[in-house]
């Protein structure tokens, strides 16, 4: 059995390779791919097969996916190129004869109104038409917030446009572990997993959790969309990315990044890391 993990040099891909190894998958059965194989040389040193794959270069994909039984298609980051890039990867997975493609989608992609959600659902539809698949509909990453802790502590506020929307975020490590389970065990073909943390929160509640962990009073400042976009761009976020982030916060305000499915906990066989645990780990 050969399990191919795309984008293995990225944060989620790297954690998924580690989760597969931790679950006892032999290193020689794992194929880690990246546009820059130098960034995953450490996997090769541990016996993992390392190959170059670039979704924008279709000629690189047949060799990268050769012999693939199962494949993790990690969604690419450039939104306007995402669907076409994913379609090339799906073509190559079909040609390789993959028995399963697991795709890292987004919570409630089938009903999502955000730009991210719509592009994820387009790839889901491509997969359903072409190859046996499982949809790993990941919620937001807790790291999207914990990575901002220095700025939050400096400014005394969490800033967003999510209103009172509840967010079922989890750590990348927990999403990676779920992907490893879907790739290394049976019974997942055709399934759709709505994956999110066990403890949903509003951004006001997140600010309170940061206050409790640090002893510093942190407030949540809810802004209109244009105001949040301005804050992001003034902080150096590129305008296109700022638009995506504002769009996601508005989706949060409509409840699109909340789930109480319990799918993540059931897949990984344990509770997901809580927001308080993620904050404490980041502060350490």
What pLDDT does 129 receive?
Answer: 87
What pLDDT does 274 receive?
Answer: 98
Banded pLDDT at 77 (limits 50, 70, 90): confident
pLDDT, mean of residues 145-152 = 97
Give the pLDDT confidence of 17-48 residue by residue, as tens digits. Answer: 999 999 999 999 999 999 999 999 999 999 99
What pLDDT does 154 receive?
Answer: 96
* Domain map (residue ranges) of the chain: 3-138+172-195+261-268
* DSSP β-bridge partners for residue 222: 160
The C-alpha atoms of residue 179 and residue 172 are separated, in whole angstroms, by 10
* Residue 87 CB neighbour total at 10 angstroms: 17
CATH number of 3-138+172-195+261-268: 3.40.50.720
The C-alpha atoms of residue 250 and residue 147 are separated, in whole angstroms, by 21
Distance of CA 247 to the CA centre of its chain: 17
CB 196 within 8 A of CB 170: yes
What pLDDT does 243 receive?
Answer: 95
């Amino acid at each position: 059995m050969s399990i191919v993990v795309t984008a293995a040099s990225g944060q989620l891909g790297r954690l998924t390779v580690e989760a597969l190894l931790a679950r006892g998958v032999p290193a020689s059965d794992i194929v880690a791919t990246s546009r820059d194989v130098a960034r995953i040389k450490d996997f090769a040193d541990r016996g993992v097969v390392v190959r170059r794959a670039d979704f924008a270069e279709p000629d690189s994909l047949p060799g990268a996916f050769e012999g693939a039984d199962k494949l993790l298609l990690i969604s690419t980051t450039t939104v306007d190129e995402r669907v076409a890039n994913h379609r090339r990867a799906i073509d190559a997975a079909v040609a390789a004869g993959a028995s399963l493609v697991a795709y890292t989608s987004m919570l409630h992609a089938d009903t999502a109104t955000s730009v991210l959600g719509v592009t994820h659902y387009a790839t889901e539809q491509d997969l359903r038409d072409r190859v046996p698949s499982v949809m790993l509909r990941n919620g937001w990453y807790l790291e999207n917030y914990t990575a901002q802790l220095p700025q939050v502590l400096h400014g005394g506020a969490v800033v967003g446009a999510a209103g009172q929307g509840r967010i079922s975020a989890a750590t990348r490590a927990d999403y990676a572990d779920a992907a490893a389970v879907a790739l290394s065990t049976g019974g997942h073909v055709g399934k759709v997993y709505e994956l999110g943390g066990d403890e949903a929160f509003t951004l006001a509640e997140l600010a309170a959790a940061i206050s409790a962990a640090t002893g510093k009073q942190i407030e949540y400042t809810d802004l209109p969309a244009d105001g949040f976009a301005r804050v992001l761009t003034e902080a150096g976020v590129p305008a296109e990315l700022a638009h995506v982030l504002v769009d996601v916060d508005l989706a949060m305000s409509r409840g699109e990044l909340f789930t109480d499915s319990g799918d993540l906990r059931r897949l990984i066989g344990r509770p997901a890391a809580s927001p308080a645990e993620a904050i404490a780990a980041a502060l350490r």
